[in-house]
Chains A and B, each alone.
Chain A
């Protein structure tokens, strides 16, 4: 794709229409993502596009509603907040979270450096954070599986992995980094990850039979034989 060539091609038009049929907001998010990227690349455009892509990925499984037992996003912030509160409560004993006294306390000189004594309430709060994070990771994996394959159990499958990599790419650009400059990735990289995400969505909600024919065409390439052994 040339730098001045519009990103709007037949496939993207099809995908936008498919998303609109599912949900108008989804379609609009996609339109805005492509419009943002459809021009001279810049950080602001990438941030907008990444936000839109993240919202589509996060919400499409719920909007489609075709996967039984789809888990919700696990919110870990409340448990983190609680852990912080408990720490503050015992700060006199524990010291500052940046430099806890328990580790360097002279009273612990003879204790194993791998074991410290902490309030049970703090352990409980920390446990909740770990558990919530574990659940959140599992739920995210299931939701990605639902997004890509329409099932809950295929989170580690190659198709899901590929989409996860592309989403991870865009997630890195959803927020500015305070004063730290954001290096703009190559346009080719942006478009590669965009197209993987789009291909996945087209397979999931696009015209089934067009995608089916595309795959049959791709098989021709996949089964291609080497005409000249020298090329090996």
Chain B
């Protein structure tokens, strides 16, 4: 069918019919419906004549920097008709040749695939323009490659090359555009790296008919890439290709991280090979092009291609390859893999004279000048070695690697003998073809003795064995202390009692083995007898005496190495103190624990220097406290104190309790120990202390936290208080204890001061306070008159109040069995906040996350609908979660209120992700209103439905009707049809 014919099977519209349609489809969605369903190609010309393809919309960048696409359904119709009406469609689309719009450019790419080559060629300019523009990623890379192939197949090589250049020519990022990663020297092309690599091979084949021109182009792109990526500096004899592309052919040594570079190497190699194999070019012609490059990488490609052709028996390639085999410069390590591959197939075919000539060069050593050789060998000269000896050794090593890379079987006799001699005198190179060889893998620590071997020995023999064994210097996978310690720990777990009784045997072994012993005994703690504890605690005392340092060592110079042992000992004691009260611990054992713990509370770990380095941005105080000796000793002491008080009906023995409390107080407060990790430790243990001995805590509170409001170490106080709030379930005693400090924190935060937190989680200091008090309201611990509750809502920022109200709703939503009384108090809390809102004392924003309260499904619909109606005019209300579902459910009983809320929410939310859940439930909500029998409500719902339809929700009417049918089934009463009154 020619473009002038009408389609035989379709009617052709008259111009009046076209105009009649155009008058009806001003609305975008109506146009979408019409053009989306129009299959008749005979409409193309009449529509164009009527101006239907004029005023093409363009995408715009919005205020947030996002490119907003304007649909063009007419364009999609044109693309669909391109095959049937190529001339007309081609002419219409050619009018867009100057378009800057990336979506239109993408449409033109699609059209070019449908149009005959002659028309497609007219669209090359905008396609090229798109590939060079900032939004090139919008173009479909597979379609781009297909367009190139289409043009090339049709013999329109100039156009095909134009598009190919736009898509694949490497460029350097000069002013980092938004779609390129900053910070490193980037090379980019029209296509992204992934698609570049994916599509270039087919394009290489498609343009193969261009012969040497195409090869020259690809070679130029590879050279450009090397320069742009910083892999080659003009004029240099070397490049970095050996690192990023160790082998030109496929090889597991190729790391393949330079996607564009790798794709281009493959392209040049495959194009060159194909040219020779297909007879489109001679090996000499191909080699001449590749060898004309200054870049070593291209010379390697040349060697690779020639080697491959010689390997398959190409005689002309053999002749072409000999000059390169005889080029001494190519014998250098930079060309080693490809040269050796070529040499291994070519050398056995050489004539005697050729072989002799080659051997003369090989025996002459590296292809450097005397000065260069002296320079290079001097870098490897050993102590006491003369220049001449160093030079000779350098030549020997060079020859060894060079000849070994080719392989003895391929070498002429004299050089094979030379290789044999060098290997016997020096060594046998492992990977001679790769000057740089990389290996990766995971190696776990190796042990010189397996756990089974240790199990065959007595404990004393084991202790002697580990004391005497020393690791030898070797590879990374040689047996190590760590490996032996792991084997030891396995053996200890198998026979803990025996090891515990012989713990004294491990008094003078190095720390990794002591740690292994203590860790290995951990599982045995519940069953440990006093006889077994005794040697272990004595070992502990030895560890303490090694690691105990005078106070002066708190300056960060504390000895390293014994910290792990101290913590291993603490872990063992804590495990014992954690045993249930039904497992009694003898007083003398508790006393021994105290003897060990007291000095550990003065342990240097964490040193100020360590805390400054690791306690900053990468580890919060509570995490550091859990991984440091001194804080963990304090925690263990708290456990000990609690155990002493809780396990004795008559009261704890003062001989133990007093020194234990003294030790606790000894590190308390910033003046005694300013470590924030210690502050976090007191914070996370304060609840336990308050529970067992509130009066002692109150007595020492000022020591710990200073006087409320006093200028002191605010960070220390903040960390204690916030850790206490974060680490404990809310309870009134804790609130009462900390009240004055909470007030100070709230005031400081309100004045814009940063509050330190001990546990850096999602909740900030003020949020923690808010969470604590609102939770206490709900569980009945405090009531709505509580002073701290009011202080939080008066002083907390809008963000903090929003977060706390939302968080409480979220918590209640997730809680399965909340008592009715608690739900009632939660409701009263929210009612109070809404009263405050109505009185103008808080903003609607405080209820932005009210949807959690709705999703909790724990209060009646009328309650939350009434509150939601109050704040829905605020644009801040979040629509996350399942709000739409709940509105839809409530719309049956409250169609008017729900429709009003729904309309408001839709008006406030413009982003699709914000509206998705709402729109999903629109049919049910609209159906409830439309079939409510309320005329005004029906009109409002229809207007809203209309609006949503115009936004593209074109199936909404059908969905609403389905909902209506469902209501019919359910027997819902129906209103009478509306009576139309036109006049």
Contacts and interface: CB of A to CB of B under 8 A. Distances in A.
B554 interface: no
A158 interface: yes
Nearest to A161: B51
B30 A212 contact: yes
Nearest to A202: B24
B27 A211 contact: yes
Contacts of B21: 218, 222
A226 interface: yes
Contact of A163 (B16, B23, B47, B983): B23
Interface stretch (B4-12, B231-239, B915-923): B4-12
Interface residues of B, number: 49
Given A149-B26, A222-B40, A8 B20 contact: no
Contacts of A207: 942, 946
Contacts of A224: 10-11, 40
A156 B54 contact: yes
B38 A223 contact: yes
B39 A223 contact: yes
A162 B980 contact: no
A148 B55 contact: no
Interface in B28-69: 28-30, 33-34, 37-40, 43, 47, 50-55, 57
B20 A229 contact: no
Contact of A196 (B20, B30, B55): B20
Contacts of B983: 31
Contacts of A219: 33-34, 37-38
A83 B715 CA distance: 78
Contact of A223 (B10, B17, B27, B949): B10
A141 to B, nearest CB: 10
B11 A226 contact: yes
Interface string B131-164: 0000000000000000000000000000000000
A90 interface: no
B939 A159 contact: no
Given A208-B949, A208-B950, A154 B24 contact: no
A30 to B, nearest CB: 10
A178 interface: no
B954 interface: yes
A199 interface: yes
Nearest to B942: A207
Interface stretch (A12-20, A48-56, A122-130): A12-20
Contact of A157 (B10, B24, B51): B51
A154 B53 CA distance: 10
Contacts, number: 146
Interface in B45-103: 47, 50-55, 57
Interface of A is mostly: helix
A167 B55 CA distance: 20
Contacts of A212: 29-30, 33, 949, 954, 957
B982 A17 contact: yes
Interface in A105-160: 145, 148-151, 153-160
A203 B6 contact: no
A196 B27 contact: no
A17 B708 CA distance: 70
A5 interface: no
Nearest to A219: B37
B22 interface: yes
A222 B38 contact: yes
Given A153-B57, A158-B22, A216 B949 contact: no
Interface in A28-66: 31
B22 A218 contact: no
B327 to A, nearest CB: 65
A16 B982 contact: yes
Contact of B19 (A157, A196, A218, A225): A196
A160 B54 CA distance: 10
A17 B982 CA distance: 7
A224 B11 CA distance: 6
B10 A226 contact: yes
Contacts of B9: 225-226
A131 B29 CA distance: 37
Nearest to B40: A223
Report which residue of A31, A166, A196 has the largest number of chain B beta carbons within 10 angstroms of its beta carbon.
A196
Nearest to A165: B19
Given A31-B983, A162-B50, A209-B949, A214 B10 contact: no
Interface string B648-690: 0000000000000000000000000000000000000000000
A21 interface: yes
Given A208-B949, A219-B34, A155 B55 contact: yes
Contact of B34 (A8, A150, A218): A218
Given A16-B982, A223-B10, A153 B37 contact: no
B584 interface: no
A162 B16 CA distance: 10
A154 B946 contact: no
A158 B939 CA distance: 32
B25 interface: yes
Contact of A203 (B13, B24, B39, B956): B24
Contacts of B47: 158
B305 interface: no
A158 B10 contact: no
Interface string B494-528: 00000000000000000000000000000000000
B945 interface: yes
A158 B980 contact: no
A166 B26 CA distance: 15
B499 to A, nearest CB: 81
Contacts of A221: 17
A225 B10 CA distance: 4
Nearest to A10: B980
A86 B942 CA distance: 57
Nearest to B27: A203
B480 to A, nearest CB: 72
Contacts of A218: 21, 24, 34
A200 interface: yes
Given A162-B50, A215-B33, A219-B38, A196 B982 contact: no
Given A154-B55, A216-B33, A222 B949 contact: no
A215 B30 contact: yes
B27 A149 contact: yes
Contact of A158 (B6, B13, B39, B51): B51
Contacts of A200: 23-24, 26
Interface string B950-983: 1000101100000000000000000000001011
A204 interface: yes
A182 B18 CA distance: 30
Contacts of B34: 215, 218-219, 222
Report which residue of B9, B19, B37, B55 has the largest number of chain A beta carbons within 10 angstroms of its beta carbon.
B55
Contacts of A214: 24
Nearest to B950: A208
A203 B50 CA distance: 18
Contacts of A13: 980, 982
Nearest to B50: A158
A120 B655 CA distance: 112
A13 B979 CA distance: 12
B33 A150 contact: no
Contacts of A204: 26-27
Given A13-B980, A226-B10, A208 B25 contact: no
Contacts of A99: none
Contacts of B8: 226, 229, 232
B840 to A, nearest CB: 31
Shortest Cβ-Cβ A-B pairs, 7 listed: A158-B51, A158-B52, A208-B949, A13-B982, A209-B957, A154-B55, A157-B55
Given A162-B23, A225-B10, A226-B9, 11 more contacts: A17-B980, A156-B55, A158-B53, A159-B52, A197-B23, A212-B29, A216-B33, A219-B34, A222-B17, A223-B40, A229-B8
6 contacts: A150-B27, A153-B55, A156-B55, A200-B24, A222-B40, A225-B10
